Every structure is written in C-alpha cells, then in structure tokens.
A and B are shown apart, each in its own frame.
Chain A
C-alpha cells in the first residue's frame, strides 16, 4: 500500500532563507505521482507542485522546487527565498491507484517564517 511520511512536525526559517521540507514515500507502483500542497491558516488546500515518477527532471514552479530522489524514495520540497506568506502547513501526497486515484497525504509540516 502507498504511504507518505513527513517527519518534521514543524520548521522555522527566516525571511529570504531557503528551506527544505522532507517527504518520503513507499509504493510498489512503477508509475506514480507526487504532489505538494500548502494549507494556510485560512484552511484552503493550494496545489504547489507535481513530480511524475518518470519525469527526467526535478519539477520547479517559481520559488518551489522538488528534490526528487527516486532511489531513496524521497520527494523533498525546497522553498527558496522564504516569505512571511509562506507560513503554513505543507502536505506531501501521492495518488493511490487502488482508491480511485485518491490522494493519500502525509501528516504535514508546519512552516513558520519570521522577519
């Protein structure tokens, strides 16, 4: 069964610094996709970035990049030049093909950015 593990309950970073949020996964599926979502205090789920298992290059979206290490089964989110507005909960997720392609989520990491 698919499993997502986020081992950092909370992370603290200063503005303009880079931060890495860890995510490891477990799957026996040769084809899979990994997602990162941001949940600010207002509660909505905001899609950030996606990495497909067969993608040749690491995904990037603006200040977000995904450090994808397939052999280690890790898909860490890197946020460059942190901003105060980046303070939020961050979730790593993976499609579960056995559940109608529902996303399964890790427990999340709370990121706090200070000035």
Chain B
C-alpha cells in the first residue's frame, strides 16, 4: 500500500546511545517532515526537507540530525540519546506548493515509540 513507512516501530535506548529512525514514502512527495509528540504538547516539528539533499530546522531541532540523500527517504538521527528524547516520533510527507484545497496530500507514518532509559 502507498504511504509513509517508519522503522522501527518501537525502540528502547540507553542514555548516550545513538540510533537512526528511517522514514520512507512512495508517493513521490517533495516535502518530508519529522515530528515528536509528547503528552499535552501536540506534535512539534523537529526538522523538515523540501527536496532531495535539503534539510532545515523546525521548532525543536536540538539533539537531532537529519539527512535526505534520496527523495523517498528521510532519516532522523540521535547521536547521543537523552531521557528527554523519550517520545513518539512521526514522519510525514506532502507535495510541494499547491493552490486550492487540501491537495497537499499530507500523509503520516504510524509512528515510532522511543524510550530512553
């Protein structure tokens, strides 16, 4: 099925460990996004990409790095995990600039639940 696939779905890390979350989309979307969701905070934008080879910081970028070497993939890295990074991470993708209605085609992955102990 077409959509956004996130791997892994669950992960437990020890403080100081590193890991990479993978997001893959097969809809040929130009834009991709990483969010984190914490209780009572909604979804907050970590980093985003408007095309292959480009990345930019969102609202809460500290402690994370991203890369988009291929249009269909957007990787989120934690170099040295901290307990404050315990969260649910969502990847999303969309078309670029559109006019009119909700035709940006925002599509979300199913999320990655990360616990840092």
User: A and B: real partners?
Assistant: yes
- Give the interface of A toward B (CB within 8 A): 6, 9, 33, 35, 43-45, 47, 50, 52, 55, 91, 95-96, 99-108
CA distance A107 to B42 in the complex (A): 4
Using C-beta atoms within 8 Å of the partner chain, give the interface range for chain B: 20 to 34
Q: Which residues of B are at the interface with A, using a C-beta cutoff of 8 A?
A: 31, 33, 35, 40-45, 48-50, 56, 58-59, 88, 90, 92, 94, 96-97, 100-102, 104, 106, 108, 110-111
Residue among B43, B45, B94 with the most chain A CB within 10 A? Answer: B43
Asked if B108 contacts A45 (CB within 8 A), the reply is: yes
Distance in angstroms between the alpha carbons of A27 and B104 in the assembled complex: 19
A100-B50, A103-B92 in contact; A50/B43 too (CB < 8 A)?
no
Are B58 and A102 closer than 8 Å at their CB atoms?
yes
Q: Is the beta-carbon distance between B111 and A47 smaller than 8 angstroms?
A: no
Which residue of B59, B88, B94 is within 8 Å of A101 (Cβ)? B94
Known A52-B101, A103-B106; further 16 A-B contacts with Cβ < 8 A: A6-B42, A33-B101, A35-B106, A44-B108, A45-B90, A47-B102, A50-B101, A55-B101, A100-B31, A100-B56, A101-B96, A101-B104, A102-B48, A103-B33, A105-B42, A105-B44
| Also in contact, A91 and B42, with CB within 8 A (given A43-B110, A100-B56) | yes
Cβ–Cβ < 8 Å partners of B101 in chain A: 33, 50, 52, 55
Instruction: Give the 8 A-B CB pairs with smallest separation, nearest first.
Output: A50-B102, A45-B108, A105-B42, A107-B42, A100-B50, A105-B43, A100-B48, A102-B33
Residue of A nearest to B94 (CB): A101
Closest to B108 in A: A45
Chosen A-B contacts, 28 in total, with CB atoms closer than 8 Å, are: A9-B40, A33-B101, A35-B102, A35-B106, A43-B88, A43-B110, A44-B108, A44-B110, A45-B90, A45-B108, A47-B106, A52-B100, A52-B102, A91-B43, A95-B104, A99-B45, A99-B56, A100-B33, A100-B48, A101-B104, A103-B43, A103-B92, A103-B106, A104-B59, A105-B42, A106-B42, A107-B41, A108-B42
